[in-house]
Amino acid sequence: MTNEPTSRLPGFYKQSLAERLDTVAARAGLNSEQRAALGRVGGLSADQADHMIENVVGLHALPLGVAANFVVNGREVLVPMAIEEPSVVAGASFMARLARAGGGFFAHVTEPHMIGQMQILDVDDVHSARLRLLEQKAQLLDLANQVDPVLIKFGGGARDLEVRLIAESPIGPFLVAHLIYDTRDAMGANAVNTACETLAPAIEQICGGRVHLRILSNLADRRLARARCAIPAAELAFDDYTGERVRDGIVEAYAFAAADPYRAATHNKGIMNGVDAVVIATGNDWRAIEAGAHAYAARSGRYTSLSTWAVDGEGRLAGTLEMPMAVGIIGGATKVHPTAQAALKVMGVTTARALAEIIVSVGLAQNLAALRALATEGIQRGHMTLHARQVAIAAGASGALIEQVAGRLVAEKTVRIDRAEAILAELRPDA
């Protein structure tokens, strides 16, 4: 353990929004600009947004929450999460608290190697063309390394060239060259795409064919993030549920996802609730992460769970998660969006590696939150309490009425907008 301040924030959820912001800002040592970027004002100006995408007419805001209790590789971390769905931030915080009893989350990443693809068509003989390309690998890597001197300076660059034969396709056999490219602290799409476009003429010359597509693969299976945790069974006990019952129920629930794609899709969606929320909070490309995750889940030819859950030798519930994690802290919106910068500061993250380690840990925590609820009292009880607030707001409640209406909906076990409107009319007869 380091001597950093703890990520335990008892009573945080009961504080007002302004108090929570103070707590996080003080703990992370945010300056006034970073504080404002996290806070209600929101970080992005319309002018900045106008330079980010096309045809801008405004901004679209999401709630930004902070998950407490995380310990990742012995380091206490508060985790900013941007998400519209209730229960996610609470679930992550709760499971991170349980995981502390087993030392928190242990995470690591592979080298940040991205794959750039070049589709090679119209070669006379695919087999000899493949070998001719491999013979020229050193020259091709040298050429790729001339593209981005900044990336080279930071220790990145071309690492390998592989050539695959696609034996069967609607247009017959063709070759695909994979450029393996180390993108360091960047997600790397731009560097990889530029390198592929640069290599294309040389590749055409070597194999006499035509390079068609030149683009990064989002199946970033050379850039994996892995996390594990082990939770003593006693930590899992609640109400009438013993720890062993909860633990075994979670393992049974995992078995369902491991064996059945219909269940695995929802199981992995639960993981992505946590992953995406941090990816979005840090300005990263969540479509890229989603694409990579689901393609990786189907890598055996059958879609399955990204995580595993088992009982370890000490009777603890042991979880693992492994998935592609092409996130950066340089480039794209990560540097441009002020809230993304403040989010990194809150986590104390200065490398893409450290960010990926936190994100995969949050994914595992989120998976546990869903499995624990599903394997015991069902997902709706906890979810509905939070959902009821949204329904109350949708029905027109504001201020103190939100909690009053939500409380009645939950007590009646009828969390529906028509009922919320009726309760609101009762509480506010003159409205």
Binding footprint of ligand NAD on the chain (CB under 6 A):
148, 150-151, 154, 156, 183-191, 193, 216, 218, 285, 288, 328, 330-333
CB of 329 to ligand NAD, least distance (A): 8
Tell me how far apart the alpha carbons of residues 242 and 373 are, in angstroms, rounded to a whole number: 14
CB of 403 to ligand NAD, least distance (A): 39
Nearer to ligand NAD, 218 or 304 (CB): 218
What would the two tokens of residue 64 be?
């930004």
Distance of CA 189 to the CA centre of its chain: 17
Nearer to ligand NAD, 76 or 185 (CB): 185
CB of 334 to ligand NAD, least distance (A): 8
CB of 398 to ligand NAD, least distance (A): 37
What would the two tokens of residue 234 be?
């006693």
Nearer to ligand NAD, 129 or 289 (CB): 289
Residue 130's closest CA among 75, 61, 46, 208?
Answer: 208
Nearer to ligand NAD, 251 or 330 (CB): 330
Residue 310's closest CA among 243, 255, 265?
Answer: 255
Torsion sign over Cα 263, 267, 269, 270: positive
Q: How many CB atoms are located within 10 Å of the residue 164 CB? A: 13
Nearer to ligand NAD, 129 or 279 (CB): 279
Nearer to ligand NAD, 151 or 406 (CB): 151
Residue 359's closest CA among 159, 23, 108, 100?
Answer: 108
Distance of CA 365 to the CA centre of its chain: 12
Angle formed by the axes of helices 261-281 and 338-347, nearest 10°: 100
Active site residues: 85, 269, 285, 383
Q: Which residue has the tokens 């599903």?
A: 374
What is the SS3 assignment for 323? strand
CB of 291 to ligand NAD, least distance (A): 7
Q: Are 290 and 272 within 8 A, CB to CB?
A: yes
What would the two tokens of residue 333 be?
């919106």
Quote the DSSP letter at residue 235: G
Tell me how far apart the alpha carbons of residues 157 and 162 are, in angstroms, rounded to a whole number: 15
Q: Are 2 and 75 within 8 A, CB to CB?
A: yes
What is the SS3 assignment for 231? strand
What would the two tokens of residue 75 be?
């380091």
CB of 328 to ligand NAD, least distance (A): 5
Tell me how far apart the alpha carbons of residues 161 and 14 are, in angstroms, rounded to a whole number: 54
How is 31-94 classified by DSSP, letter by letter? -HHHHHHHSTT-S--HHHHHHHSSS--------EEEEEEEEETTEEEEEEEE-SSTTHHHHHHH
Nearer to ligand NAD, 131 or 213 (CB): 213
CB of 152 to ligand NAD, least distance (A): 9
Bridge partners, 179 (sequence order): 116, 161
CB of 51 to ligand NAD, least distance (A): 13
Nearest to ligand NAD by Cβ — which residue? 331
